[in-house]
Structure 1
Amino acid sequence: MTNGSSGGKAASSSDLLRNFGGGLVISCQAPDGHPLARPDLIAVMATCAELAGAVGLRICGADNIRAVKQVTHLPVIGLDKVPGKHRPLITPSYEHAARLVEAGADIVALEVTAEGAPDPGAMVRRVTEDLRTPVMADVSTLDEGLMAWNAGAAVVGSTLSGYTAYTGPTPDHPDIALVKQLYGHGLHVAAEGRYRTEAQVAEAFGAGASFVVVGGAITDPVAIARRLVAATSLSRDRDRGTQ
């Protein structure tokens, strides 16, 4: 197991990306008020992810990162979520990033959008240089991805496509087109956001993703059950319509 020390990152960004390449990163998260929103249960999710063959984890919050680092050797993409005007913002300050690194995050996820930090490029540079930690830039557009990449992000994620005010409303399907655009400009790309099926994961790799991040489709039993319950409701409505 690893401890929560920020001193001397053993793995470079290229090493981490090589380990992630072609694999699945599982996001083990639970929002406030969710039955699974406890560090010990997040750690159980992480253990399950490792047993399933995940190449890495995406974990929200320093306490959860510490708990996960006690039970798994998998590298962790750490983030914080802070309430914003319309939605939670992802690791919006250097202080948030520093706490994540101190807790043991191997990569820090930073939001690089017009809705996040005032100068996200400077944030990417500061975390990379001062904390000596690779950055995964969560973006919603090609221009944001290019800005993050030019600022030194190790990988750019399509995470926020459909969630910013200027890319919404949120569709049901992932944004494969953005993955393809980012890859076409020579970026290392993480495909993230609404990936739920084997076909979607395969399509993301075909579009150039270095790795794919899947979260609620695996780790949120409430969301999974809700989708299936909705299907039964549609079936009942259809049956009533034929009577």
Structure 2
Amino acid sequence: MTTAEPARAIEGRLIVSCQAPPGDPMRETTTLVRLARAAHAGGAAAVRANEPEVVAAIAREVPLPVIGLWKDGDTGVYITPTVRHALAIARAGAAVVAADATDRPRPDGSSFADLAGAVHDAGALVMADVSTLTEGITAAGQGADFVSTTLSGYVPGTPRQAGPDLDLVESLSAAVSVPVVAEGRIGTPEEAVEALARGAHSVVVGTAITAPTALTARFVTALTAHR
């Protein structure tokens, strides 16, 4: 698969992350498929989804490209951490496989370049989830078809902030030739538009659209503090 077709499909548009954390009532395959259907009905250009079963179900039932990943664990490199995880997601039907491309060691001893090469051989594209400018430049040189700001603020040493890291979006967009995807803490349509203005090729929104548990908790917290 060439990058051109998926890149055109998502250019200037919204990707909806249809995921739920462990223990959340929404973490059920048919529920996540319904979320993806709702995203499609609302005009999303693509869906980001976690785990082979969910990726396969959405790819089968929703007429949108799937950006697939496999979260395994919750510390260190856990977003599609090994070549095995990446190939499972590609075989499940993901058009694009998203994987951690930070400079931290991978559990199987592979490099990001190893993972990207294996995914390309399997017929899918690769999205590098990074936390810094240097990581994004390196990933683009190692075969990433897209670079995403997913991990900024979630890796030690990166800026902790309430909103999206639009400075990273802008700096990556100026530094790499592959499409840059803005992801992470985008909470409003205005922030999504600003991400495009700062150079993003497309924008991923998750919690603000597909996480009723987290959204409910925000309101409860605010009302509790007011009492």
TM-score by length of 2: 0.93
Give the aligned residue type for 2:157. Y
Give the match for residue 20 of structure 1: 10
How far the C-alpha of 1:115 sits from its partner, in A, is: 2.6
* Matched ranges for 1:6-155 at <5 A: 9=1, 12-84=2-74, 86=75, 89-117=78-106, 118=109, 119-128=111-120, 130-155=121-146
How far the C-alpha of 1:31 sits from its partner, in A, is: 1.5
TM-score by length of 1: 0.88
Per-residue displacement from partner, 1:155-195 (whole Å, max 9, x unpaired)? 10000000011215x32111000000000113310000000
* Matched ranges for 1:194-209 at <5 A: 194-209=185-200
Contact 2:52–2:88 (Cα < 8 Å) also in 1: yes
Contact 1:115–1:164 (Cα < 8 Å) also in 2: no
Equivalent pairs, count: 223
Give the match for residue 193 of structure 1: 184
Query: Within 1, Cα distance between the matches of 2:123 and 2:59?
Result: 19
User: Which is higher, the Rg of structure 1 or of structure 2?
Assistant: 1
Give the match for residue 160 of structure 1: 151
Q: 1:178 to 1:18 in 2, by over 3 A?
A: same
Give the aligned residue type for 1:232. L
Match of 2:63, SS state, is coil
How far the C-alpha of 1:67 sits from its partner, in A, is: 1.6
How far the C-alpha of 1:132 sits from its partner, in A, is: 2.4
Paired-residue identity, %:
38
Q: 1:110 to 1:163 in 2, by over 3 A?
A: same
Match of 1:174, SS state, is coil
Query: Within 2, Cα distance between the matches of 1:115 and 1:189?
Result: 21
How far the C-alpha of 1:66 sits from its partner, in A, is: 1.7
Query: Within 2, Cα distance between the matches of 1:38 and 1:127?
Result: 26
Contact 2:130–2:151 (Cα < 8 Å) also in 1: yes
Query: Within 1, Cα distance between the matches of 2:193 and 2:93?
Result: 30
Give the match for residue 205 of structure 2: 214
How far the C-alpha of 1:126 sits from its partner, in A, is: 2.9
Give the aligned residue type for 1:150. G
Q: 5+ unaligned residues in a row in structure 1: which ranges?
A: 1-8, 237-243
Most deviating of 39-48 and 63-72: 63-72
Q: 5+ unaligned residues in a row in structure 2: which ranges?
A: none
How far the C-alpha of 1:76 sits from its partner, in A, is: 0.2
Most deviating of 137-146 and 59-68: 59-68
Match of 2:153, SS state, is coil
